Amino acid sequence: MMDWNYLADKLFPHITQTPAQVEARYPKRQLPEGAKVTRMGPSPTGFMHLGNLYGALVDERLAHQSGGVFYLRIEDTDKKREVEGGVQTILDAFSAFGLPFDEGVTNEGETGAYGPYRQSQRAAIYQTFVKALMARGLAYPCFCTEQELAAAHEQQEQNKENFGYYGKYAVWRDRPLEDIEQALSQGLPYVVRFRSEGSIENKFRHEDLVKGKMELTENDQDVVILKSDGIPTYHFAHVVDDHLMGTTIVVRGEEWLATLPVHLQLFRAMGWKPPKYAHTAQLMKIDETTGGKRKLSKRKDPELALSFYAQEGYPAPCVLEYLMTLLNSNFEEWRRANPDAPMQDFPFSTKKMSGSGALFDVDKLRDVSKNVISRMTAGAVYDAVAAWSAQNDPAFHALFTRDPDKSRAFLAIGRGGKKPRKDIALWRDVKPYMDFLFDELFQPDYTLPERVSAADAKAILSDFAASFGENDTPDEFFQKMQAIAQAHGYAAQTKDYKQNPDAYKGAVGDVSMVIRIAVAGRQNAPDLQSVMHILGRETVLARLDAYAQALAAQ
Ligand code: GLU
């Protein structure tokens, strides 16, 4: 008979605290009935992807809409994948999206009573529980080398058996103490494995908050719970942490479903109630070349990186709002009924989440973003563009902020009404939208409108120059256009031209297009009279003249 207490003391002589002492430092949270405790557990690999944000939004909503707690735990148990500055990348990404953590790692150290919140600082805690498991005969050291494990794998392949450490392949599971002591005296490295009593013959029921009811197969593998450096694997670390930290719902990617039986088994062995699990579906996209669905890829899809959104100038609320449309199928309907309500008013529910892959679509993101931006004030847009361009386009920043009132006045055109303009999806769009406002960027395309000759265009420009009123209303401007149209054989009303196209050269719209081309240098621009008012008399007349000269030179 193995003396498990002896072995536990031998392997963990430095662990003198008991599990009960650790538990006492993590009292049950005092929260209102129904309050959820969620956490984000990213690893500091230096790369934050859209899936991290997608999951974090679920966590944040579940916690905050129930009066609960949303905390950040850094899962840095895998030193091989960790990069320098990785924690900072995590903090920056979440702060850019304004997802407020209530506890955990912050730029100013840790906050909250359930820390430490970095797994690498919790080694003694995990070891305390591993030691206790070992004392109960539920964990044991395994001295297998990588070569031995690879050889077993090869044999399993040949025999067409399941891979892994189980049954006869679990060679250290029932080893006598002498063997263990001998290996220890040789200083051989070892891991600690959990002693599984599960069998793949047994199935059990489980209900996932996203995937619904499912049947799972018991785990029969003796998984590693402590690596040779004394740091736990994800499996064990998350069980201990989510228990001690009082997590009630674990939201994580569906890639963890395969090892869920291990996790539930560990909770049971520890005598702890497992949290509820919400396994979120993979983010997919339509591949541009094949037209088929595929997972977002780090290599092919820049939009997978969270840093992409800040660089391009997608406002954080737009990205969150778009993710919410992916997360809850009824969000868009709610948004249409509540166009001005903050997103936080939407009753988010895991029941409305789809268990199969969510389709990420940049065009859809742009549409959502245009809607969100169209509801912002010109002042808010101005501030955001000033901040974004300072970082990402200093040359434009200088022009944009040279005369703030001018830029704000331009951004105010078509804003605020029932049907606001939707020209801007991301801050990078602002420059091409308003570059013509600045003489330094004004590069007109003087192509004539289809139904206007060069001679007519010149006459229209000169008539308009003579009658232009900087402070006219849009209506007054339109009446002037109608008068000029009539004087040159164009219909004053579009419908007259449509009814009787042979009687006219074109319609009033063709005439005002000439002015638009002169002033904005292109055929698309917001309300022209407003634009001309902002540009001022001198600039408008200079541009009318420049177009006339260009036409004369043809
Ligand atoms: N550290 C894990 C990951 O980055 C977290 C999974 C979880 O949230 O439990 O995938």
3-state secondary structure string across 152-168: HHHHHHHCCCCCCCCHH
Asked whether the CA dihedral 123, 129, 134, 138 is positive or negative, the reply is negative
Instruction: Identify the DSSP state of 439.
Output: G
Query: What residue owns the CA closest to ligand 1's atom 5?
Result: 41
Q: Ligand 1 atom closest to Cα of 75?
A: 1
pLDDT range class, residue 212, cuts 50, 70, 90: very high
Q: What is the pLDDT of residue 463?
A: 97
Q: Residue 126 in contact with residue 236, Cβ under 8 Å?
A: yes
Distance of CA 508 to the CA centre of its chain: 47
Q: What is the pLDDT of residue 515?
A: 98
pLDDT range class, residue 339, cuts 50, 70, 90: confident
| Long-range Cβ contact pairs of 80-83 (< 8 A, separation 24 or more) | 81/43, 81/45, 82/43, 82/44, 82/45, 83/44, 83/45, 83/46
Give the residue, 5 or 100, on which the prediction is more confident. Answer: 5
pLDDT range class, residue 356, cuts 50, 70, 90: confident
**Ligand 1 pocket: which of 60, 90, 234 to mutate (most atoms within 8 A of CB):** 234
Q: Residue 496 in contact with residue 504, Cβ under 8 Å?
A: yes
Q: Annotate 94-123 with b (16+ C-beta within 10 A) or e (fewer).
A: bebbebebebbbeeeebebebbebbbbebb
pLDDT range class, residue 19, cuts 50, 70, 90: very high
Q: Ligand 1 atom closest to Cα of 55?
A: 8
In the predicted structure, residue 1 carries a pLDDT above the cut 80: no
pLDDT range class, residue 173, cuts 50, 70, 90: very high
Q: 43 CB under 6 A from ligand 1?
A: yes
pLDDT range class, residue 418, cuts 50, 70, 90: confident
In the predicted structure, residue 220 carries a pLDDT above the cut 90: yes
Mean per-residue pLDDT of the chain: 95
Q: How many CB atoms lie within 10 A of CB 172?
A: 18
pLDDT range class, residue 551, cuts 50, 70, 90: very high
Distance CA 123, CA 121 (A): 6
Instruction: Identify the DSSP state of 49.
Output: B
Query: What residue owns the CA closest to ligand 1's atom 4?
Result: 42
Hunting for tokens 């690999």 — which residue is that? 45
Q: What is the mean pLDDT of residues 157-179?
A: 97
Q: 428 CB under 6 A from ligand 1?
A: no
Q: What is the mean pLDDT of residues 270-280?
A: 97
Q: What is the mean pLDDT of residues 20-47?
A: 96
Q: What is the pLDDT of residue 461?
A: 97
Q: What is the mean pLDDT of residues 228-250?
A: 97
Q: How far is the CA of 78 from the centre of ligand 1 (A)?
A: 12
Query: What residue owns the CA closest to ligand 1's atom 3?
Result: 42
Q: How far is the CA of 384 from the centre of ligand 1 (A)?
A: 32
Asked whether the CA dihedral 240, 141, 45, 300 is positive or negative, the reply is negative
Q: 119 CB under 6 A from ligand 1?
A: no
Q: Where are the beta strands (DSSP E) in 218-333?
A: 224-226, 249-253, 276-280, 283-286, 293-295
Task: Tell whether omega for the bond before 116 is within 30 degrees of 0, i.e. cis.
Answer: yes
In the predicted structure, residue 230 carries a pLDDT above the cut 80: yes
Token reading at 478: 């339109």
Closest CA to 162 of 170, 253, 266: 170
Task: Give the model confidence (pLDDT) of 300-334 as tens digits.
Answer: 999 999 999 988 999 999 999 999 999 999 999 99
Share of the chain above pLDDT 90, in %: 92
Q: What is the mean pLDDT of residues 527-550?
A: 97
Q: 250 CB under 6 A from ligand 1?
A: yes
Q: What is the mean pLDDT of residues 543-550?
A: 97
In the predicted structure, residue 387 carries a pLDDT above the cut 90: yes
Distance CA 89, CA 47 (A): 7
Q: How far is the CA of 223 from the centre of ligand 1 (A)?
A: 18
pLDDT range class, residue 554, cuts 50, 70, 90: confident
Q: Residue 40 in contact with residue 72, Cβ under 8 Å?
A: yes
Q: Residue 243 in 3-state DSSP? A: helix
Q: 437 CB under 6 A from ligand 1?
A: no
Angle 366-367-373 from CA coordinates, rounded to 5°: 85
Length, in residues, of the chain:
554
CA distances from residue 158 to 148, 150, 155, 164, 399 in whole angstroms, order as listed = 15, 12, 5, 14, 70
Q: How far is the CA of 186 from the centre of ligand 1 (A)?
A: 36
Per DSSP bridges, beta strands 69-72 and 103-106 are parallel
Q: 238 CB under 6 A from ligand 1?
A: yes
Distance CA 419, CA 426 (A): 19
CA distances from residue 397 to 260, 387, 432 in whole angstroms, order as listed = 51, 8, 13
Q: What is the pLDDT of residue 332?
A: 94
CA distances from residue 481 to 501, 512, 514 in whole angstroms, order as listed = 19, 6, 10
Task: Give the model confidence (pLDDT) of 488-519 as tens digits.
Answer: 999 999 999 999 999 999 999 999 999 999 99
Q: Residue 191 in contact with residue 227, Cβ under 8 Å?
A: yes
Q: 41 CB under 6 A from ligand 1?
A: yes
Q: Residue 25 in 3-state DSSP? A: coil
Lowest mean pLDDT across 198-202, 281-285, 386-390, 479-483: 281-285
Q: What is the pLDDT of residue 118?
A: 97
Q: What is the pLDDT of residue 358?
A: 86
